[in-house]
């Protein structure tokens, strides 16, 4: 079943209409985060706000000092996160969560994998917070091969759904600028990982012999809002546009989804 990705009225009030506009002196204005595709596709337990802080730090990884600390000005983070009442306590807790939940699993194949904490320390002073990436993983962040993913901080800063961020980052990691349109199949077995679903989420009769994944609920409350929020950000600084998607079935059984998307520039035009 093919579905177009036009914005529906159902979500008009819940999505951004454009990428976030930052003040000219904000550190993250036009800031680009680049990572190995393995990092982009890795499973994390971060919330959306924690993910945004990670992207902010990643965009400044090459500015780290001799000890490996990356400086993130609090005033710029307040603007980026839309915090009207500045709170150092909020940023302290956010940084702590990024560290404690930064356990990454990099899987190349069933027998070729690596796992560990990607971010291992955080600290703060009156004006800034600081994050430090684990030395062993820095090559995945600043010594990139030809297989890498890049995103602008502003492109994800305005997102309100974690599912939007997850799908956006995953599809970006598979996008091919050599083709006008890219295609990526997501099999049924990968849905929980890619969208970071909790055990039992969108299942009926979870924990019983009658347990069944409820595809209609998943599409209504997770997939469609994610697609529409991603597309609502166009034109953005560096985005994708999901042209359409198809539910792949064999008889009545759902096998997964097929996404067709275009990499677009800041004017919403194909790259």
The pairing of beta strand 103-109 with beta strand 239-250: unpaired
Fold designation for 1-19+161-271: Arc Repressor Mutant, subunit A (1.10.10)
Distance from C-alpha of 29 to C-alpha of 235, rounded to nearest angstrom: 16
Taking 80 as the threshold, does the pLDDT of residue 3 lie above it?
A: no
Asked if 79 contacts 26 with a C-beta cutoff of 8 angstroms, the reply is yes
Asked whether residue 171 carries a pLDDT value surpassing 70, the answer given is yes
Structure tokens belonging to residue 31: 């800031």
Tokens 């997939």 correspond to 223
Q: Where in the chain is the domain with CATH 1.10.10.10?
A: 1-19+161-271, 29-157
Q: Give dist(CA 18, CA 21) in Å, integer.
A: 9
Tell which CATH architecture fits domain 29-157: Orthogonal Bundle (1.10)
Average pLDDT over residues 200-214: 92
Give Cα separations from 29 to 21, 23, 193, 196 (angstroms).
Answer: 8, 7, 31, 29
| Phi, psi dihedrals of residue 193, rounded to the nearest 5° | -65, -50
DSSP 3-state helix, strand, coil percentages of the chain (rounded to 5)? 35, 30, 35
* Mean pLDDT of the chain, nearest integer: 87
Nearest to 4 by CA among 262, 226, 260, 248: 260
Give the CA distances from residue 79 to residues 54, 108, 158, in Å, rounded to whole numbers and listed in that order: 16, 37, 11
> Would the pLDDT of 30 be above 70?
yes
* 73-77, 83-87, 142-146 — most confident range: 73-77
pTM of the model: 0.85
């Amino acid at each position: 079943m093919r579905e177009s990705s036009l914005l529906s009225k159902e979500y008009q009030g819940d999505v951004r209409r454009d990428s976030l506009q930052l003040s000219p002196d904000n550190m993250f204005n036009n800031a680009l985060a680049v990572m190995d595709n393995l990092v982009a596709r890795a499973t994390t337990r971060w919330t959306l706000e924690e993910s945004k802080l990670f992207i902010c730090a990643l965009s400044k990884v090459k500015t780290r000092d001799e000890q490996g600390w990356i400086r993130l000005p609090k005033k710029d983070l307040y603007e980026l996160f839309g915090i009207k009442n500045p709170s150092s306590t909020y940023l302290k807790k956010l940084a702590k969560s990024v560290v404690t939940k930064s356990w990454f699993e990099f899987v190349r194949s069933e027998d070729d994998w690596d796992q560990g904490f990607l971010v291992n320390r955080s600290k703060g002073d009156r004006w800034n917070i600081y994050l430090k990436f684990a030395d062993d993983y820095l090559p995945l962040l600043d010594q990139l091969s030809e297989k890498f993913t890049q995103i602008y901080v502003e492109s994800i800063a305005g997102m309100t759904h974690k599912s939007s961020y997850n799908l956006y980052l995953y599809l970006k990691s598979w996008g091919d600028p050599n083709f006008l349109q890219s295609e990526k199949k997501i099999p049924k077995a990968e849905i929980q990982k890619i969208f970071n679903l909790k055990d039992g989420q969108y299942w009926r009769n979870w924990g019983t012999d009658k347990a069944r994944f409820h595809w209609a609920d998943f599409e209504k409350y997770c997939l469609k809002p994610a697609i529409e929020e991603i597309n609502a950000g166009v034109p953005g600084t560096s985005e994708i546009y999901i042209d359409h998607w198809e539910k792949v079935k064999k008889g009545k059984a759902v096998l997964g989804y097929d996404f067709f998307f275009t990499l677009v520039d800041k004017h919403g035009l194909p790259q």
